[in-house]
A = this chain, B = another copy of it.
């Protein structure tokens, strides 16, 4: 559902083709919502049928034509309604957690490898986020207004990765030392 509104937000900032929108999904919004180009084209088609977007065809030589989409008045209204609506926290679905939950079954060594692999994946992502963070600060000493909220959501991404790594390292330790005692995160009642 939200792909629709993510697209409307992106093209509201600046009219764009499906291809452009797919690119922009990778940076910024891609951190907390991903969409394949197929899904984007499907969604754009649907929104066009429903009158939320319109497009103009730009001819190019040597390359396929671009359909440059922009939001319509109806689209704006729909977007504003969505922005005003309440959201429920997303449902988490994480297969690795199931495997760790059931760690007493199966081969601990294999799970350890998998956990270490995930630590690396999250560390790579963390580094990428931290590099992106620098770009928000590098240009000028004061951040531009319009970059403020994209940056704040990036901070969430950074913390998210850090928290994953911290916990996965704990899991790693527990897999190595089977009998290490754990203290409750909240020590007293």
State the A residues within 8 Å of B (CB): 1-2, 5-6, 9, 12, 28-29, 31-34, 79-80, 83-84, 86-107, 110-111, 114, 117-118, 121-122, 130, 133-134, 136-137, 142-143, 145-146, 148-153, 155-156, 158-160, 163-164, 166-167, 170-171, 174, 181-182, 184-186, 189
Contact = CB atoms under 8 A, between A and B. Distances in A.
B155 A185 contact: yes
A150 B142 CA distance: 46
Copies in the complex: 2
Given A9-B98, A106-B83, A106-B84, A167 B155 contact: yes
Given A89-B164, A90-B95, 4 more contacts: A2-B93, A32-B97, A104-B145, A104-B149
